[in-house]
Amino acid sequence: MNIKKYIIPLIVILIIGCTKRYIARYYILDYNPQINVENQLEKPFPYNLQVKKFKIDRTYDNSRIVIRQSAHQIYYDKFSLWARRPQEAITFLLINHINKLHIVKNCKERFIDDRPDFIISGQIHSIEKYQNDLLLRADIHISLTLTKVSTNQIVLNKEIVNYIPLYTNEMNYFAKTISDNLNKEFSSFILDMVNYFKSEEQTKL
């Protein structure tokens, strides 16, 4: 009897049975802006507002989510991916937030026929999950500026630097934590922008 004829298929079956199958999962940065009495306006400001596509540090310009283990060590999780790259998702979220609140006449990423009155520029310095034996948190660092086109002057800027503790290792919770933080920080930036626009309108009276 040729034992090898039976042993080799058996080994192959055992290997296949013991191999753990990993499925790539995709995560979304998303939130629903809350509209309340404080952020409602009687009518939009008569401005065209351009939100340029956010720039991003090369380390994070990736579909794979960045996991940091120390100051000098990261890896890309090949089974946990962003559904949209961070710079695309975050640009969309800010435009959507502004439009939901009807802050200005027009807000979009590109103007073709019209010229923008103000431009928001953003830089994503980091967006990562910090995970080791001692720490588990969501880290995000974004810079925002508002430029008045007629004078080419930066009239508003904001640094978002947050290290948010995570209470579970679930990647879905990480994506939600980052999304909720963007909601809070963008709400703050928009409020500052509204106050600036109010002062700008006052100077015209």
DSSP-assigned letters across all residues of the chain: --THHHHHHHHHHHHHHHPPP---EEE-----PPP-TTT--SS-EEEEEEEPPPEE-GGG-SSEEEEEEETTEEEEEEEEEESS-HHHHHHHHHHHHHHHHT-EEEEES--SSS--SEEEEEEEEEEEEEESSS-EEEEEEEEEEEEETTTTEEEEEEEEEEEEE-SS--HHHHHHHHHHHHHHHHHHHHHHHHHHHHHHHHTT-
Please state which of the ranges 6-10, 65-69, 135-139, 161-165 shows the lowest mean pLDDT. Answer: 6-10
The pLDDT of residue 187: 94
CATH number at residue 155: 3.40.50.10610
Query: How many domains does one find in the chain?
Result: 1
Identify whether 153 is part of a domain. Answer: yes
Instruction: State yes or no: pLDDT of 92 exceeds 90.
Output: yes
Confidence class for position 30, pLDDT limits 50, 70, 90: very high
* Residues 6+ away with beta carbon under 8 Å from 55: 87, 121, 122, 123, 124
- For residue 11 the two structure tokens come to 């080994």
Q: How many residues does the chain have?
A: 205
CA distance 20 to 113: 55
Whether residue 19 lies inside any domain: the answer is no
By percentage, how much of the chain surpasses pLDDT 70? 87
Tell me: pLDDT of 16 over 70: no
List, for residues 44-60, the tens digit of each pLDDT value: 999 999 999 999 999 99
R_g over Cα of the chain: 23
Tell me if 14 is assigned to some domain: no
Q: Note down the domain range covering 195.
A: 25-202
Q: Is residue 6 part of a domain?
A: no
Residue 112 placed within a domain:
yes
Residue 172 counted as domain residue: yes
**Quick one: average pLDDT of 144-167?**
97
Judged against a pLDDT cut of 70, whether residue 1 lies above it is answered with no
Residue 33 lies in a domain: yes
Please state the pTM of the whole predicted model. Answer: 0.88
Instruction: Tell me the per-residue pLDDT of 94-134, one tens digit each, with 9 for 90 and over.
Output: 999 999 999 999 999 999 989 999 999 999 999 999 999 99
Q: Is the pLDDT of residue 157 over 60?
A: yes
